[in-house]
Structure 1
């Protein structure tokens, strides 16, 4: 395919002129973007390095960098690489990469390549710099600051004199570009050299594509809001966000999996023929990372056998035929008040109630409430950033007092100083309600977050609200935090105030192909097909049904699977049919990855079965949020390749 990278190395004569009077050179080459991704190392610095040595120059080192204009990642890659004694940095890149490199240190930076004028996207969009693709670069004269795009008047030979207090007279929000240029050149000892240069004349027959600059500017704020990366998929919450909760009718039969959580499956403690009551424990946790399970109905155990499972394929399950009476077990009764409970007692209540993370991960909450390190803040995740889903939104609106009670219980249990309820700004009714209800509670606060996916991921939420970075391979407790889901927190309230274990949850049933979408309170173990039928069934033929949202949800090839503790939604959406194409190395996956990874390498290494390469690129830090796959113009199934890589890395010695 055509190479769309629009820069080329200068001629030998131009390079010789550029290097005249300069020595102790460090070379940086940007691995080209917008081209077929065939090799890891490209282009080669060798030609420039060879010429420099022929000219008697000392080359202190060289490095090749993917997406040099991505300042966030480039700073990490270049840290400590430029040796002591380096006097000049020579960059092979388009104008974006040159500007980015020039803004990262005190060394003079020079462009060894020419940016080529063309229509379309120029380099990556996440850079803080702009390039007008004017094909007449002035960066070598102006210290790596572009006068064409940074100066509101695009002046080439100095300032206009209209700046006030260092601010542009045209746009007072901008620093005067020429004052920045003068300061940088003076700091590098190059100001006199610049002032002695001939007057620059711009060739206006070469068009400055303002559209490129406008595009970059339009998305930059969103990309950096709160944390690096992320995407803005269509939310599609309008189907159900205003529908009050409805209780799904009592199921005739429930199939309750003994594995609805991270860790070891529960061990059954009932037998076929036993009579059970709602809330009765029917499976005991099998270890520290495990969770008990309870009957969601009263009735008779008819089977203990392997059944289909939405995420594990199949799982040992307890089948119970309901008697329709919903008789509560004797253990379901209110306990002591929150004030009189000790933290250890709260943890035990939560453990015995079988409460796990209800946002999908299913990690046992009792383990999370015994963090190994001191905690100062509890974050309550009210973002619900997955498209289509509105279950947590409705819980916030209809069970606000229970959610607040549950949050207070968590704060007390982990010894935190503060509890913060974080709600995205697409839920103004929930923000208003929770703000009013917590107004007189000094230890609680409501924070409004600008909507962006995947803001609900623990590490993103912590970075967005507290500006803390969870280390690679680390946990929220490493930075003094515990994060809890809305529905999980409500379940904690039910366990303490009512003695009710986790036997039901709110499920959003929605999508373009659901006749009667809504938010339903559903017993654990209810058949998913029955729930869909209750909503009028599925319309259309080419439909994909997922458990969860459109981004991280699992495709259900068979809807005869039970609703589980983590089943926050069932959606029916159009099936995508775009065929996979070769990677063009556009860099958009790097642009949007909230964990600051390089997903394009995961795809390449998975195809090559280069599992060590995936490990070296920190694949285990991947959230599997699907931002990379969502943005990929080549429609590469990145998440499937990432999962394969993770499985392989886990199996490595």
Structure 2
């Protein structure tokens, strides 16, 4: 009961009928919807453009819009979207998106698709309007106003005659749907076309009308109750989710903060003028909750001074001028194989490698993996539910073996019964790959979570997957869980397999204004401005 209405293009014969007397068409497709459904292929703009072109019609342009039914957002985008010379608008969407465009556009709007129930029912939408997913859309006949929903009696062949002063006789607070249809078609000069239409028949066998309406009502009443209502902000991941990882050009100078973690800042162990190598310790841990810091380049220390810091305001940092050689420090050597390592040895490797949580909190991973409480489940957070970000998604795709290895190391370290990789269902390629990689692992599994924000927060993730409530002020270990970020887990694999400490990470640089968005492997200490400038600036 958690899947929702989808849509498909009308048949070629239906589209030919729609296109017969119209031309100069702009095509709009709904790009994203609530990910509460099984992944299926949806019609693309290009598919419809080809059909339209084959009919000898001119396409003035096309656009894909997230959450087309979000009227506030769509209204802003629509202002400068439709080019001059456009006479008609074709919409690929469920009925909700089509109605929204019909309300906003000053041109005739036509549905190129039919809504349908796909192993579920309609109900999650960002508009007060409704759609019964009847798979026989009337919006092309009625100017984008749905007679099934907007008319209290769901009449499909004109008004009942009971309306007074433009108001419905069933609900006097409601405008008569058929009067609205008449006024809109009159404004568009389409009344004669409408009056010439044959009598419309409705096939009730295609949808359980009563059940769907009751279901829609219950969903709207309950959708915001508790966490599982969640929110689904516009994702905008399409800028970078398909772009493979690229190594960002080595910076000439790095500024490495001695506080890149929760707890006490590291103490510098180098001096100005020292020559350092990649992976060499430049800051020693200053307490139990702290972490050592390593050089990400080989070169010369030019300063040890305060620099701006994202959370501390200012922080003592080591400035290193790179020699461009990336010479590895002598300590960078592979460790023993995982089976030969004890849990304490794994913790020591992680501590000495300076690995901290890379999901934002920066908590030292070596401390997290010594909880002094029984742990039965390790959760890898592959949700990446935030808009725009695709770094973890690409790490899952391109370093799947390392992620699985790192998870095995964590499971062994905390003596957990199982490891669970949690991935949201807007990443079907990563889900398929990780399921294949863990198929032969009895104690590892992939759990598919529905795409919602802020599901990636560890307490919410535990509640979603394990059905356990972390107590107020408590930690995941209090309910037998450890949660690790995908990139952190990959860093653990690097530390064990290569002996490489934490000296780089994957960063998504993205946004509408950037000319070259992407996912980059970036050395720690790289200037953020250099990243943005490399991607085209803002």
SS in 2 for 1:432: helix
Once the two structures are superposed, the pairs formed by residues 62-461 of structure 1 within 5 Å of their partners are 217-219=218-220, 223=224, 227-461=227-461
Structure 2 distance, partners of 1:258, 1:267, is 7
Partner of 2:185: none
Partner of 1:515: 515
Partner of 1:481: 481
Structure 2 distance, partners of 1:236, 1:220, is 28
Structure 2 distance, partners of 1:293, 1:223, is 44
How far did 1:322 drift?
A: 0.3
How far did 1:205 drift?
A: 6.0
Partner of 2:506: 506
Q: Deviations over 1:310-349 (max 9, x none)?
A: 2222110000000000000011110111000000000010
Structure 2 distance, partners of 1:205, 1:395, is 55
Structure 1 distance, partners of 2:441, 2:255, is 42
Q: Deviations over 1:396-446 (max 9, x none)?
A: 000000000000000000000000000000000000000011111101000
Structure 2 distance, partners of 1:247, 1:217, is 49
Q: Deviations over 1:594-645 (max 9, x none)?
A: xxxxxxxxxxxxxxxxxxxxxxxxxxxxxxxxxxxxxxxxxxxxxxxxxxxx
Partner of 2:533: 533
Structure 1 distance, partners of 2:472, 2:485, is 22
SS in 2 for 1:496: helix
How far did 1:223 drift?
A: 4.3
Structure 2 distance, partners of 1:439, 1:372, is 31
Shift of the 349–318 alpha-carbon distance from structure 1 to 2, 3 Å rule, reads: same
Structure 1: runs of 5 or more not aligned: 1-124, 127-202, 539-653
Alpha-carbon RMSD: 2.5
Partner of 2:467: 467
How far did 1:513 drift?
A: 1.6
Structure 2 distance, partners of 1:347, 1:264, is 19
Q: Deviations over 1:250-297 (max 9, x none)?
A: 110000000111111110010000000000000011111111100000
Shift of the 213–407 alpha-carbon distance from structure 1 to 2, 3 Å rule, reads: same
How far did 1:391 drift?
A: 0.2
Structure 2 distance, partners of 1:406, 1:477, is 19
Shift of the 220–494 alpha-carbon distance from structure 1 to 2, 3 Å rule, reads: farther
How far did 1:536 drift?
A: 1.2
| 1:494 equivalent in alignment to 2:494 | yes
How far did 1:219 drift?
A: 4.6
Structure 2: runs of 5 or more not aligned: 1-122, 125-168, 176-209
SS in 2 for 1:333: coil
Structure 2 distance, partners of 1:217, 1:276, is 64
How far did 1:215 drift?
A: 7.0
Shift of the 442–515 alpha-carbon distance from structure 1 to 2, 3 Å rule, reads: same
Q: TM-score, normalised by structure 2?
A: 0.60
Q: Deviations over 1:200-250 (max 9, x none)?
A: xxx96676999998875445675469x444211001100000000000011
Structure 1 distance, partners of 2:217, 2:329, is 60
Q: Deviations over 1:488-543 (max 9, x none)?
A: 000000000000000000000001121110000000000111111111111xxxxx
Structure 2 distance, partners of 1:313, 1:397, is 35
SS in 2 for 1:530: helix
Structure 1 distance, partners of 2:405, 2:225, is 34
Structure 1 distance, partners of 2:389, 2:171, is 52
Structure 1 distance, partners of 2:220, 2:301, is 56
Once the two structures are superposed, the pairs formed by residues 626-645 of structure 1 within 5 Å of their partners are none
Count of residue pairs brought into register by the alignment: 338
